[in-house]
Structure 1
Amino acid sequence: MKKSLILLSSAFGALAVMPAWSADAVMAPEPEPVEYVRICDAYGAGFFYIPGTETCLQISGYVWYQMGAGSYEAGTGDTPSYHYGDTPQDGWRKNVRARVNFDARSETEWGTLRSFIRLESVWNGVGDGPAYVDQAYIQLGGLMMGYSESFWVDSKNGGASNWGSHSWSGMYYGYTQRALIGYRFDSNGFFGAISLEDDALAGEGYMPDVVAKIGYTGGWGTAWLKAAYDESAEFFAAGAGVQVNVPNMAGSSLRILGYYNEGDNAYGTGSPLGTDAELSILASYNHQFTATLGASVGFHYFNDLYAAGTNISTGLDAWAAELSVVWFPVSQFEVRTELGYAEVDGRDGSLSGFLRFTRYF
């Protein structure tokens, strides 16, 4: 027994001094640090830092379902529908739209660097809705370049100067999108913008369209002047407007806009006939009953409509009127309805409208 104990002790002692011929011990790697998404509050709600960068990203958009109807029937000689964008013709028209915006921003020594992409799809009842890039542009400080709304209707500064009436349709204010490069500035309430734009990227020579705007905005409201030159048509357009905010009634305001067109051009307001008028005036009032319920009325008069693509007078006048109601029953969910009437001299008028449900995110 004693011999056995001595042998075992010798064996363990030998193992203790043996070289480490066996495999090294397996060491578990240190876990990678987890980088959680950080909120970026430099540009407003909804922005977060892209992990590993100092770039802030916001993903936003909406989905809407709309039921529209109108009395206009194509080919009858009646006044075309006020809601021309959806062209409801003597019956119901359904519309579903999906929109997603990607807005990336970061700070540089030259100001905020921004890139914006808008993807959109519209379903009008026939097959699946096609997806397309509705806007894409870059901004660096006040410089902007890409494809977006013309500076005639939205220079991304100037508040009320970027719209027509208070409704979603806006009445006839010349909404258009262009490939452009432009610059805008803001200083102590004063704002201005200028852009070089083109509706055709080839075959139009080297002269671009030119759009400029200047104005002032304060607590009382906004006033502005703007002008545009359509190089293709070789006609000028000009506009002036003022919005007066109602004291002690947040969101309520009166807006009056006037337009002059040298001829039918890309930057004119359009009209119920589809062409520009030499002179037109638009008045709109929005009343905000509560933080979640508002309504607006608008009226637009057109004097001396042009023949399409010319400065030749048709001798016709026209007018249009609208009613819009917007209600947010809960946050980010909107119920909107619009009703519009349009009439051209010598033609029967047309009535149109829609009811829309929108979920924003």
Structure 2
Amino acid sequence: MMPVRAALLGSVAIIASGAQGADLPAKPAAPVEYVRICSTYGTGFFYIPGTETCLRVSGRVRAEYLYLEPDDRADDMIGFRARGRLNLDTRTATAYGLLRTYLRMEMTRNTGAYGDSSTSPNIAQAFIQFGGLTAGRAVSFFTNPDLPAPNFGDLRFDDPSNAEVNLLAYTFSFGNGFSATLSLEEGQRVNNDLDFPLFGVGTPPPVLAPIAFTYGGERIPDVVANLRYTGTWGGAQISGALHQIRDVAFGLTSVDGVTVPVINPVTGLPYPAYADTEYGFAIGAHAYANLPFLGTGDTGWISATYTDGAVGYINAGQAGSIGSAFIGAGPLQLPFADAFVDPITGEFENNKAYGIAGGINHNWTPTIQTNVFGSWMRFDAPGTAQYEIPTTAATTAAGISGATTGLVDFNEYRVGVNAIWTPVEGFLIGVEALYIRVDPRGRVAVPVTDATGAPTGTFRSTGSEDAWEGRLRIQRDF
């Protein structure tokens, strides 16, 4: 009986202690944080838990394949590109207006005709907006970021897909779709140096060739301003930019390790060490419109640009440096720069570039669209920038008698078409063909290369050259 009694007493004690524990106050559980949808700024935003800041995470993966018409056996005809993009967009409503931060990170791997490169990380955009203030890296305010220009290859205008620069800007909003912006932007949008070899045939180039220079340190940023209107039918913008041109010691050279002045062959006097600082400018007009009479969702766009000493604003909006600033087609590569030093006065002479680009988009079905687009550009340098190659027995035998070299005036034409299939929202497969033609003013000399692409030291004369590009793009946005 004793073991049974002990077991019963133990059970009663356990039950009693449990009852007393149940009477004690329970520790409250931590509140559960649920992710809340933020519909204020569009789809995809949610509140960061514990804050009133909305966040949207998005990105892109692109695979692209390029056909580029080769000049010789050394050239790659096929190119491969893989690119990944990640976007982080945060927005917070404050008593002073919207506080926004935006970060776009990209990594690209190119091979073949794109140019072989290791994986290249890039901060494409990183800016803060507070009320009307924009600070950081963003699309230049010279261009209109809303232009519906879905071309894969480059056209000659300030393309918003390539026109990211470092800037500090303020936008004034007037209501009814009107706004104006004043922006201070980085000045070297492209390699605007005129730093290239001038060549002759059998003899040194004439002494009155344009003088090359290398850009000096930036003293003032480019000053950009625009006036923009956005409406239900489309939008329009006019823009202007002021650009500083200054060089590094064009009038000095090194002889046996000693720096000496360069002598002006006309006056017999030494050139100044530097040309006086010069200024260039650019003016742009951009517009786009919905075209419902062609089809649902159809659009058209146009962009016209005039530059004087600021050719970077028409050079496809390339925000990075391009080698030696040449534009051409096939073996014809012509110098393209902001300015040069006059061989007589020793001062800057500005080059001009101007042109127009545009396109039309048509949606055949909700998933199939085509785009037709093109651009024309004229490069116009002062007369002292080009000169005739002397007529000699060697040049006559080479068939280039009367050819021009230096900074040659030229026209460039680009015409393209693409077709895009979007079977699923945010996913596309597209093909594109682009034709490029460069017509210099008169005939020009082109270096002749051997089968490996190496220069032979001889030249030929040409009046124009053209080239074809083809692209296949597979892209997913999320």
Q: After TM superposition, is the score higher than 0.5?
A: yes
Instruction: Quote the sequence identity (%).
Output: 33
1:86 match: none
Q: CA deviation at 1:148?
A: 2.0
Match of 2:473 among 345, 350, 356: 356
What SS does structure 2 have at the residue aligned with 1:304? Answer: strand
Tell me, in whole angstroms, the C-alpha distance in 2 between the residues paired with 1:100 and 1:171.
26
What SS does structure 1 have at the residue aligned with 2:297? Answer: coil
Q: CA deviation at 1:293?
A: 1.8
Tell me, in whole angstroms, the C-alpha distance in 2 between the residues paired with 1:172 and 1:265.
10
2:313 match: 267
Q: CA deviation at 1:97?
A: 0.4
Matched, 1:171 2:169: no
Matched, 1:292 2:367: yes
What SS does structure 2 have at the residue aligned with 1:349? Answer: strand
Give per-residue Cα distances to partners, 1:113-157, cap 9 Å, x unaligned: 011111111112468624332221100122100012221225x6x
2:457 match: none
Q: CA deviation at 1:327?
A: 1.7
Tell me, in whole angstroms, the C-alpha distance in 2 between the residues paired with 1:178 and 1:74.
36
Change (3 A) 1:150 1:302: same
Residue 242 of structure 1 aligns with an amino acid whose one-letter code is A
1:197 match: 185
Q: CA deviation at 1:292?
A: 2.1
Residue 30 of structure 2 aligns with an amino acid whose one-letter code is E
Matched, 1:137 2:127: yes
Match of 2:427 among 319, 333, 337: 333
What SS does structure 2 have at the residue aligned with 1:61? Answer: strand
1:188 match: 176
Tell me, in whole angstroms, the C-alpha distance in 2 between the residues paired with 1:260 and 1:337.
31
Residues 180-329 of structure 1: pairs in structure 2 closer than 5 A: 180-186=167-173, 187-199=175-187, 203-205=217-219, 207-232=220-245, 234-248=279-293, 249-269=295-315, 272=328, 275=336, 278-306=353-381, 314-329=408-423
1:85 match: none
What SS does structure 2 have at the residue aligned with 1:231? Answer: strand
Q: CA deviation at 1:74?
A: 8.5
Please say if residues 230 and 267 of structure 1, whose CA atoms lie closer than 8 Å, have aligned partners that are also in contact: no
Please say if residues 178 and 199 of structure 1, whose CA atoms lie closer than 8 Å, have aligned partners that are also in contact: no
2:192 match: none
Q: CA deviation at 1:313?
A: 5.9
Residues 87-126 of structure 1: pairs in structure 2 closer than 5 A: 90-125=76-111
Moved more, 245-254 or 63-72: 245-254
Please say if residues 222 and 244 of structure 1, whose CA atoms lie closer than 8 Å, have aligned partners that are also in contact: yes
Please say if residues 112 and 140 of structure 1, whose CA atoms lie closer than 8 Å, have aligned partners that are also in contact: yes
Q: CA deviation at 1:63?
A: 0.7
Tell me, in whole angstroms, the C-alpha distance in 1 between the residues paired with 2:186 and 2:88.
25
Q: TM-score, normalised by structure 2?
A: 0.61
Change (3 A) 1:268 1:230: farther
Residue 376 of structure 2 aligns with an amino acid whose one-letter code is Y
Q: CA deviation at 1:28?
A: 6.6
Residue 424 of structure 2 aligns with an amino acid whose one-letter code is V
1:32 match: 30
What SS does structure 1 have at the residue aligned with 2:408? Answer: coil
What SS does structure 2 have at the residue aligned with 1:116? Answer: strand
Residue 193 of structure 1 aligns with an amino acid whose one-letter code is T
Change (3 A) 1:113 1:169: farther
What SS does structure 1 have at the residue aligned with 2:410? Answer: coil
Match of 2:143 among 146, 153, 159: 153
Change (3 A) 1:244 1:75: farther
1:79 match: none
Residue 287 of structure 2 aligns with an amino acid whose one-letter code is V
Tell me, in whole angstroms, the C-alpha distance in 1 between the residues paired with 2:358 and 2:123.
33
Please say if residues 275 and 306 of structure 1, whose CA atoms lie closer than 8 Å, have aligned partners that are also in contact: no
Tell me, in whole angstroms, the C-alpha distance in 2 between the residues paired with 1:250 and 1:304.
38
Please say if residues 239 and 285 of structure 2, whose CA atoms lie closer than 8 Å, have aligned partners that are also in contact: yes
Aligned length: 326
Give per-residue Cα distances to partners, 1:61-110, cap 9 Å, x unaligned: 0111111111044899xxxxxxxxxxxx5411010001001111100011
Tell me, in whole angstroms, the C-alpha distance in 1 between the residues paired with 2:407 and 2:438.
14
Unaligned runs of 5+ in 1: 77-88
Tell me, in whole angstroms, the C-alpha distance in 2 between the residues paired with 1:220 and 1:118.
29
Residue 190 of structure 1 aligns with an amino acid whose one-letter code is F
Tell me, in whole angstroms, the C-alpha distance in 1 between the residues paired with 2:82 and 2:416.
22
Change (3 A) 1:223 1:315: same
1:83 match: none
What SS does structure 1 have at the residue aligned with 2:312? Answer: coil
Change (3 A) 1:250 1:110: farther
Tell me, in whole angstroms, the C-alpha distance in 2 between the residues paired with 1:290 and 1:227.
39
| CA RMSD of superposed structures (Å) | 3.5
What SS does structure 2 have at the residue aligned with 1:183? Answer: strand
Q: TM-score, normalised by structure 1?
A: 0.79
